[in-house]
Amino acid sequence: MSTGLLYAAAGAMLFVLGATALILPLAPLRRVLGFNVMGSGAFLLLVGLAQRDGAADAVPQAMVLTGIVVSVAATALALAIIRRIAALERKAPADD
């Protein structure tokens, strides 16, 4: 069991955990955490499996870098929307 495979397996579990948190009706902030964990899991799986024979592979590493930036973009957007909803509800408490 090489390093790559080990972290890939961890990545698989992280993906499933994160996706579950995203699907279940939890607090929005929790689901944002879930989405980030899910993404990290997918990245670990990508690089871990590509490097399962031990040598570093630049292509999946570059893909993960791209993915991290996309993740932070999505997180920032999600948090902005969540904040805005909270601010609007403070102004006019909704009764739904």
Q: How far is the CB of 91 from another protein (least distance, A)?
A: 8
Q: How far is the CB of 94 from another protein (least distance, A)?
A: 6
Restricting to residues 2-21, which ones interact with another protein according to CB under 8 A?
Answer: 3-10, 12-21
Q: Does 95 bind another protein (CB under 8 A)?
A: no
Q: How far is the CB of 9 from another protein (least distance, A)?
A: 6
State the Cα–Cα distance between residues 29 and 45, nearest whole angstrom.
Answer: 25
Q: Does 55 bind another protein (CB under 8 A)?
A: yes
Q: Does 84 bind another protein (CB under 8 A)?
A: yes
**Helix/strand number for the chain, H first, E second:** 3, 0
Question: What distances in angstroms separate CA 24 from CA 27, 31, 34, 36, 96, one per listed residue?
Answer: 9, 8, 10, 15, 20
Count of residues that bind another protein according to CB under 8 A: 87
User: Is 39:73 a contact under the CB 8 Å cutoff?
Assistant: no
